Structure 1
């Protein structure tokens, strides 16, 4: 038997053994329980959680410890400019706010997390733009930077927090301006996975058991939601097998090199299944924008005579991960001009009671399609292989289309 086959068999056996153990001791371990399954974890919810931890006056009662550790672990560039020493010496005076409305005329922009610290004549301001799911908007980061300047902060700090992009979209801040911020140490890019080190450091310094357990649950949530790690025990067990010797390392690389190809072949199968099973005549199924694994690849339900948008299934992350489903417009201007954008979200929220319907600049109404984790879990890929995924996508697309059509949301 080949080394690759041996590796797959050993991993499969180890995973089955772990699953059996978890089932046997589930009452003691509660492996699937996580506080964050019962907490609002949309963009606003995550902003509130992070702001509460960063606040020196927060109910965690650890004073400025968490904020100081955040700067040390996540914003090391803060220490590279001598002019910020006054802020670092008076960090306990920092005030933290969520959803701060900007002063820009006719703008509804809100800074997700805003930190300010006044020490004598010096004023320091940090804007954390939290982007767990939504897309960037036109001039968004530029407006926030200008807002910090307007508020009298002589050394504004912009922190862009997301997981998958190396830089913000150029529509939010042009590359030349961004380079200027970076050169002045006024910009930091931060991934959600980067927060793990900070949160673990907070656990070490935390003197309260309840708060420490909350931090542990938050770490577990980030690992699952943004890093695709469902179970660290399983992950570590598989890693031990892979690292066993040179042969298993070589075999694991060979397996890894075929995973992307396997996913693309299964997506190709999904496209064939969708086209074969779609029987609707009041819209056209378009799968031409799906197949390479690029971010924002999508399946469209094109509505004849309706040229401003379409019902859409789209992968929010690259490599076929984190799909969303809803109504998408051809542009933010088209969405803004449509008189039914608010109605679309309202009627879907009313009918789809098992979904949390959100909205963004180009998506008047969308929700996160289950299963969400196509990167770290096999569930979605097994559904494609078993001919179940096409039915699920078509059923949900049909339902969204019907609700919007029955409520006259497609009237032009």
Structure 2
């Protein structure tokens, strides 16, 4: 055990030195390379924004000026048994409202054929969501001239498309990951002739890698990987750290909670943590409740998985209350904007 502890200590020392040198290198070349600049960090990039970006690229008439480049490359990556007949002029819609009031993120129609895209970078599946989309498309577009793409890094779940669904519906649903999405963007970028469009594609791909796929900076990731693989001792120390990671997170959150409670003793508040906080899931965090009977609470949470996208706000803590107060909610938003005028905001339930 002493030997393992020694290896682990030396490994952490190596990591610390590497991190310091990496930070110094960034500072030295920051003005010329801007290594941490991300265009999409300046935008409120949510699910709807991603859908608009994808629809913009797939539209042959889009202002990107590349014609059918993106659409043709997109159709080429579909498996041969899911080849999609697309002849004639394509029309594309975002947030397409169906008869049952469900809204399909993207709908691309081409003569008597259609492709639907359900974009799920972070949000949870709704009950029978893919089933309802597939059923509607199957009824509207005959001869199986339809395809429903499930854009998500998770597998298709029983909740959204039950396993006992009609085979015609299940066969028309195609899972497509954001990892494959990035590969499609990179392939298209090689053939784009407009520099500003290529920059847009590269920035979009970078955003998806980091904020959806959870990848770190590729150069830093490669350097760190080489450091880990440089010796058997470093490899063993890495696995030792990985096995202890959950306990490390648990102790850090417990220490944070204790410190926060000590700071808030004069206010006599209660803090409630989401059970999944240790797992780094998306949309998890903690609430500060000033009184058990309060309708609202202060909340801090991570918008994305792996503790990314930290945000804060006021939430409805009363589970029974589902209807927004037409007067109170605008007042809350106005007060938040006055207190934090330079913080981007997004209202929700």
Compute the TM-score of the two structures, normalised by the length of structure 2.
Answer: 0.80
Q: Which 10-residue stretch deviates more, 284-293 or 12-21?
A: 284-293
Which of 93, 96, 105 aligns to 1:97? It is 93
Does residue 80 of structure 1 match 2:71?
Answer: no
The separation in 2 between residues aligned to 1:218 and 1:66, in whole angstroms, is 14
| Equivalence for 1:347 | 334
Q: Describe the shift of the 1:269–1:65 C-alpha distance in structure 2 as closer, same or farther (beyond 3 A).
A: same
Pick one of 125, 139, 160 that aligns with 2:150. Answer: 160
**More divergent stretch after superposition (310-319 vs 4-13):** 310-319
1:17 aligns to 2:21 (yes or no):
yes
Q: CA deviation at 1:358?
A: 2.9
Deviation sequence 1:334-356 (CA, Å, 0-9, x none): 42476568537743663343333
Q: Which residue in 2 is equivalent to 1:49?
A: 53
Aligned residue among 76, 83, 104 for 1:111: 104
Cα distance in 2 for residues equivalent to 1:175 and 1:341: 40
Q: Which residue of 2 aligns with 1:234?
A: 220
The 1:142/1:341 distance shift into structure 2, 3 A limit, reads: farther
Question: Post-superposition shift, 1:266?
Answer: 0.8
Q: Which residue of 2 aligns with 1:264?
A: 250
The residue matched to 2:163 in structure 1 has which SS?
helix
Partner of 1:299: 286
Deviation digits for residues 365-405 of structure 1 (CA, Å, limit 9, x no counterpart)? xxxxxxxxxxxxxxxxxxxxxxxxxxxxxxxxxxxxxxxxx
**1:105-128: CA deviations, max 9, x gaps?**
xx3x4322111111xxxx222222
**Structure 1 residue 217 corresponds to structure 2 residue 203:** yes
1:175 to 143, 162, 183: 162
Which structure 2 residue ranges, 5 or more long, are not aligned? none
Structure 1 unaligned segments of length 5 or more: list them. Answer: 365-412
State TM-score, norm by structure 1.
0.70
CA RMSD of superposed structures (Å): 3.4
Cα displacement (A) at 1:238? 0.8
SS in 2 for 1:114: strand
Which string of whole-angstrom CA distances, capped at 9 and with x for unpartnered residues, describes residues 319-347 of structure 1?
A: 5554554414666x842476568537743
Residues in 2 aligned to 1:85 and 1:287: alpha-carbon distance in whole angstroms: 47
Q: 1:124, 1:68 → 2: CA distance?
A: 15
Local SS of the residue matching 2:115: strand
Preserved contact between residue 127 and residue 158 of structure 1 (Cα < 8 Å) = yes
Quote the offset at 1:52 in angstroms: 0.9
**Does 2:333 align with 1:358?**
no
> How many residues of Structure 1 are paired with residues of Structure 2 in the alignment?
340
Structure-1 residue corresponding to 2:322: 335
**Partner-residue secondary structure (3-state), 1:86:** coil
Greater Cα offset, 42-51 or 7-16: 7-16
In structure 1, distance between residues paired with 2:166 and 2:278: 30
Give runs of ≥4 in structure 1 deviating > 6 Å.
none
Alignment deviations for residues 37-69 of structure 1 (CA, whole Å, 9 cap, x no partner): 334412222211111111222222222222232
2:131/2:169 contact within 8 Å kept: no
SS at match of 2:240: helix
